[in-house]
A and B are shown apart, each in its own frame.
Chain A
Amino acid sequence: KAGVTQTPRYLIKTRGQQVTLSCSPISGHRSVSWYQQTPGQGLQFLFEYFSETQRNKGNFPGRFSGRQFSNSRSEMNVSTLELGDSALYLCASSLGSSGGSDTQYFGPGTRLTVL
């Protein structure tokens, strides 16, 4: 079974621009979660989508948004990029069972550099 895929793998943008990242989950998985990883803050949860609905949201500004399509593929968008948005953006796929015990598998990530 194919793993989680993310595109693009690397991205360079300038301040003020916007960016869209894409994630395709493992076949049969209905939940997609997004995380940001930086050296200073570590791995932080952005949001989770399940059945095309945002089910959980982390503590990030509204510039960060996402959506999920009917085939469970997900995109996240960051508008008005700031230098501090430079990070590894990770997508994780899971079955989506609620109440814990939902194992998440990570994609390879998108490395975003904001100049």
Chain B
Amino acid sequence: QKEVEQNSGPLSVPEGAIASLNCTYSDRVSQSFFWYRQYSGKSPELIMSIYSNGDKEDGRFTAQLNKASQYVSLLIRDSQPSDSATYLCAVQYNAGNMLTFGGGTRLMVKP
């Protein structure tokens, strides 16, 4: 059973702070990792993908992958109230293109 775990939150941070979201996964053959953002009542929106160990930066977002420890994280710098949403971690395995999602972390950025 392939599992993806996230702290459900809510994670509350003040505006301008760094928000750190974490995700662990159970299967070592995991190939690709994705972070999606989902606003209430909306569909998931892709933020970033990461395939190799290390950091990947895109604007205010940085994804970090450590395959040996089986975790992936997302850092949001200079958090804004508009970043308040549920962040979903998704893992894709070599055997197919299906995504296995974590339960999501609800982020609240307070002005």
Contacts and interface: CB of A to CB of B under 8 A. Distances in A.
Interface in B2-48: 31-32, 34, 36, 42-46
Interface residues of A, number: 30
Contacts of A42: 101-104
B43 A100 contact: no
Name the residue among A44, A94, A102 with the largest chain B CB count within 10 angstroms.
Answer: A102
Interface in B54-105: 88, 90, 92-94, 96-104
B31 A104 contact: no
Interface string A89-115: 010101011111111111111000000
Interface of A: 31, 33, 35, 42-45, 48, 50, 55-56, 58, 88, 90, 92, 94, 96-109
23 contacts: A33-B97, A33-B98, A33-B99, A35-B99, A42-B101, A42-B102, A43-B44, A56-B96, A100-B31, A100-B51, A100-B93, A100-B97, A101-B51, A101-B92, A102-B32, A102-B92, A103-B34, A104-B34, A104-B97, A106-B36, A106-B43, A106-B45, A108-B43
